[in-house]
């Protein structure tokens, strides 16, 4: 049976988009306390089911899906540039491989036109026809519209013919950003892409016996199995170590580990991999928001997914990648970083997020190179003493305060223009290289 909290969430999902709701109304409608209603509405807001609008109140909204764009199609490009499709609608699902700006003669354009590419061009009908005839879709900028002849050709070739009010430079920038974002997303693999559904795996009920575990273990590739309640919610996990020396008739509930680590579908593979390595887990249960078991993810699944990422031919640079490229080791254990326009906020000073990433990268480089260790930053306390302006060169000096086998604490000093500008205390989890 569902809890009152879950019942409220289900009720909110049934409300039409635009409907108003309040703590008092929910509490009265479902006969729950106002405290329970408030907590459920807050979780619904975190899930993107509702939104609180000033002077309006809490309103049911359309939940945004976290769908990853595996292929950047022409249909996606139309949304990015707020364009209008005039012809070739049958080709909107085709994948965009590259775009070309047609600021050249028709003869020169032929060298750059390829199939599944996009020619960005102005009000030049001959160039538009040439692109379509050679397999490229056409995007007309500047608010110009295509002729009927070009529209018929686009329909015949099943190549999208799109127009937008933006200028060529703006459109090129928008599409380039979309392609970069898509490449970055391809690297962020989530558990929903790799886990084994419950129908294809094995698990036990808390009322099963140790004998049932041993029979299951004989035909499985791993020795860890989730344990569920009667309503399929995760109750625990049982391993070979738990049943050693136990009688066959012993009930699983008495030997299982309660409150085990678990994963959810939206989690990244990298974060789950870290937990599995840290705790030495070969299998982790995957659960829904109501803690219902929906599958498992194994260390083998994790390894396969990470290998597939390495095989990808291209990847977009994240902000962390760009910061990593800008950091240099000036002297032993001392790192430098120059503040560029892209790393500043609206005040012209280095943004808090960028400075945090600079400290993280310097800390990683320090421990990785000199201590031969990998790390994950677990906690950071950062204090500013002086403003760090655009164009300043930062000197970052990490120093280990204390360290053990699994963690380390570092004091990091950041100097700008020879003055101490900031200081951070960083706590890291350490993973030994094997």
Q: What is the pLDDT of residue 163?
A: 93
CB proximity list for 41: less than 8 A, separation 6 or greater = 8, 12, 21, 23, 26, 50, 58
Indicate whether 121 pLDDT > 60: yes
Do 328 and 336 touch, CB atoms closer than 8 A? yes
Indicate whether 333 pLDDT > 50: yes
How do residues 222-254 score in pLDDT, each as one tens digit?
A: 788 999 998 889 999 999 889 988 999 999 999
Indicate whether 357 pLDDT > 60: yes
Q: What is the pLDDT of residue 311?
A: 46
Report the percentage of the chain scoring pLDDT > 70: 88
Q: What is the pLDDT of residue 53?
A: 63
How do residues 41-89 score in pLDDT, each as one tens digit?
A: 888 887 778 877 655 578 777 655 444 444 678 888 888 888 999 999 9
Select from 138, 79, 134, 167 the least CA-distant residue to 147.
138
Select from 241, 276, 245, 278 the least CA-distant residue to 256.
241
pLDDT band at 160 (very low <50, low <70, confident <90, very high): very high
Select from 185, 179, 229 the least CA-distant residue to 204.
229
Q: What is the pLDDT of residue 51?
A: 79
pLDDT band at 146 (very low <50, low <70, confident <90, very high): very high
Domains of the chain: 4-60 (1.10.10.10), 74-187 (3.40.1390.20), 192-302 (3.10.580.10), 319-432 (3.10.129.10)
How do residues 268-322 score in pLDDT, each as one tens digit?
A: 887 788 788 777 788 999 998 888 999 999 888 887 776 555 444 444 455 676 7
Question: How many angstroms separate the most distant Cα atoms in the chain?
Answer: 84
pLDDT band at 345 (very low <50, low <70, confident <90, very high): confident
Select from 105, 95, 100 the least CA-distant residue to 119.
100
């Amino acid at each position: 049976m569902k809890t009152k909290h879950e019942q409220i969430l289900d009720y909110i999902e049934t409300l039409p988009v635009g409907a108003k709701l309040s703590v008092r109304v929910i509490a009265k409608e479902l006969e729950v306390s106002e405290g329970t209603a408030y907590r459920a509405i807050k979780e619904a807001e975190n899930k993107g089911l509702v939104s609180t609008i000033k002077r309006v109140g809490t309103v049911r909204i359309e939940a945004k899906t976290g769908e990853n764009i595996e292929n950047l199609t022409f249909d996606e490009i139309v949304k990015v540039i707020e364009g209008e499709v005039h012809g070739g609608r049958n080709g909107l699902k085709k994948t965009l491989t590259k775009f070309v700006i047609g600021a050249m003669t028709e003869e020169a354009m032929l060298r750059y036109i390829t199939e599944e590419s996009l020619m960005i061009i102005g009000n030049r009908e001959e160039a538009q026809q040439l692109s379509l005839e050679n397999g490229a879709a056409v995007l007309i900028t500047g608010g110009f519209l295509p002729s009927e002849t070009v529209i018929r050709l686009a329909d015949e070739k099943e190549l999208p013919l799109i127009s937008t009010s933006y200028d060529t430079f703006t459109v090129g920038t928008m599409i380039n950003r979309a392609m970069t974002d898509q490449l970055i997303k391809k690297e962020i693999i989530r558990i929903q892409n790799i886990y084994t559904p419950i129908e294809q795996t094995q698990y036990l009920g808390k009322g099963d016996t140790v004998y049932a575990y041993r029979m299951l273990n004989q035909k499985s590739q791993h020795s860890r199995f989730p344990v569920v309640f009667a309503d399929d919610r995760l109750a625990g996990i049982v391993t070979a170590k738990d049943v050693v020396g136990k009688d066959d008739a012993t009930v699983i509930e008495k030997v299982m580990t309660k409150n085990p680590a678990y994963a959810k579908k939206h989690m990244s593979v990298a974060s789950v991999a870290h937990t599995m390595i840290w705790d030495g887990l070969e299998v982790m249960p995957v659960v829904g928001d109501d803690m219902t078991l929906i599958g498992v993810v194994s260390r083998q699944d994790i390894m396969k997914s990470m290998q597939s990422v390495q095989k990808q031919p291209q990847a977009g640079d994240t902000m962390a990648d760009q910061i990593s490229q800008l950091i240099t080791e000036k002297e032993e254990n001392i790192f430098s970083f120059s503040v560029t326009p892209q790393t500043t906020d609206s005040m012209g000073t280095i943004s808090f997020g960028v400075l945090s990433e600079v400290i993280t990268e310097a800390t990683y480089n320090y421990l990785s190179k000199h201590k031969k260790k990998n790390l994950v930053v677990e906690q950071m306390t950062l204090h500013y003493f002086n403003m760090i302006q655009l164009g300043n060169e930062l000197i970052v000096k990490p120093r280990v305060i204390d360290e053990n086998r699994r963690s380390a604490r570092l004091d990091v000093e950041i100097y700008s223009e020879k003055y101490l500008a900031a200081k951070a205390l960083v706590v890291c989890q350490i993973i030994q290289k094997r």
